[in-house]
Every structure is written in C-alpha cells, then in structure tokens.
Amino acid sequence: MLRCREMPTRPDPNRELELNAIFEEYHAMYDLAVFRLNALDRRAPVTVAAFATVLVSLQSLPVSAQLLVLLFLPPSLVWFMRTTVNHARSFEDALRRIEELEKSANARLSEPLLCFQSRHPSRGREVGGRTGRETLLAVLGSILLMLAVAAYQIHTTSVIPRSAHIWYDLFLIVIAATTVNERVKLSRYSYREMTTGQTTH
C-alpha cells in the first residue's frame, strides 16, 4: 500500500514575527544588563577611592574648607548609595525581563532552547544577583568606614568646638542609618512581571 508523502509544514509568518520581536528585545535587554553590570563593577573602587582621597588630604586644607568637606561629604555618600541601589535594581529588572523573554521564546518554539537566566541557580535569591550583592556590601562597608574616618577627624581636630561634637556624631549616625536603610529596602524589592500590552513610562 502506497503512503502519501507528508507535505512539509509551512512556517508560520506570525510566529516568525513574534520570535524576531522577542529576540530583538532579548539582545537589547542583554546590552542593558551589561551596561548596568559594568556600572556596578566600577562604582565601588573608583568612587570610593575618590571619597577616601578627599578625607586623607583633609589635613592639608584650611579649617573652613575642612568644615565644608566634613559637612557635605556624608550626605553625598547617601546619594552614592542610592545611585548604586538604582543600578542594582535596574540590573535585576533586566535579568528578570530576559528570563521572561527566554520563557516566551521557548513556549513558541516548544523547546527549552534559551535557559541561561530562567534556570540560573542564583535566580531570585538576591536583587541584582551575586554581583549586585557583593557590590552593595562593598559600597556600604566603605561608606561606614568613611563616616568613621570623618568622626575621627572631627574629634582629633579643632574644626568645630568640642561642645558640637555630639551633634556631628548624631549627624553621622543619621547618615549611616539612611544608607543601611537603602540596602534593606533593596532586599525587599520585587520585580513586577510584565504582561502583554503593558507599557512602561
């Protein structure tokens, strides 16, 4: 008995368009992830070294300039921590979106061809992954160390009267608590899964 040869399956043009769109966004998200990763890698050594240099060279400045540095440096450390947290959060968003795109492409292809992020062993354990965790710990530790150096400078110099030392100490404690709180808030961050038709602003 003769069997009819099966006709080759025609490619679905709609599915091809969907896959092309997915892969375009996939590449864009990976470029964004690499940018955020590089930004995180550079923040701790470069910026912390700049702040540390200012503190080390503090003694060579006039008293009025020392006071300005000791007043304005601690708040700038809060800004530094917040921007670092923002990079880690954005890095997490990029990774989770890549994971969604992998699952979406695999569902259309009916095969698990893309799985690096969707099956990564550290997925979901830390916001920003292991790089984000280590960078934030390094930044937080460096900030606390610099605040301690600032306190030492105040207590060992005559930049401000001794009666005002307690107020400066309280000022540094508030700064330290704020930076720690930024790290705690990041640990509670959760990526919201994007749905079809959802737009971001």
Residue extents of the structural domains in the chain? 14-187
Q: Is residue 196 scored above 50 in pLDDT? A: no
| pLDDT of amino acid 124 | 62
Q: Which of 54, 42, 40 shows the shortest CA–CA distance to 90?
A: 40
Higher pLDDT, 196 or 116: 116
What percentage of the chain has pLDDT greater than the value 70?
84
| pLDDT of amino acid 164 | 87
Q: Which of 98, 164, 96 shows the shortest CA–CA distance to 126?
A: 96
Q: Is residue 81 scored above 50 in pLDDT? A: yes
Q: Is 26 helix (H, G, I), strand (E, B) or coil?
A: helix
| pLDDT of amino acid 121 | 56
For the chain, the average pLDDT equals 79
Average pLDDT over residues 17-31: 86
| pLDDT of amino acid 180 | 94
Q: Is residue 189 scored above 70 in pLDDT? A: yes
Average pLDDT over residues 92-111: 84
Q: Is residue 145 scored above 50 in pLDDT? A: yes
Straight-line distance from the first to the last Cα atom of the chain, in angstroms, rounded to the nearest whole number: 64
**The Cα angle at residue 66 between residues 82 and 140, in degrees rounded to 5:** 25
Q: Which of 17-26, 63-72, 86-95, 115-124 has the lowest mean pLDDT?
A: 115-124
| pLDDT of amino acid 107 | 82
Determine the Cα–Cα distance for residues 106 and 116; give it in Å rounded to an integer.
12
| pLDDT of amino acid 112 | 73
| pLDDT of amino acid 166 | 93
Higher pLDDT, 97 or 127: 97
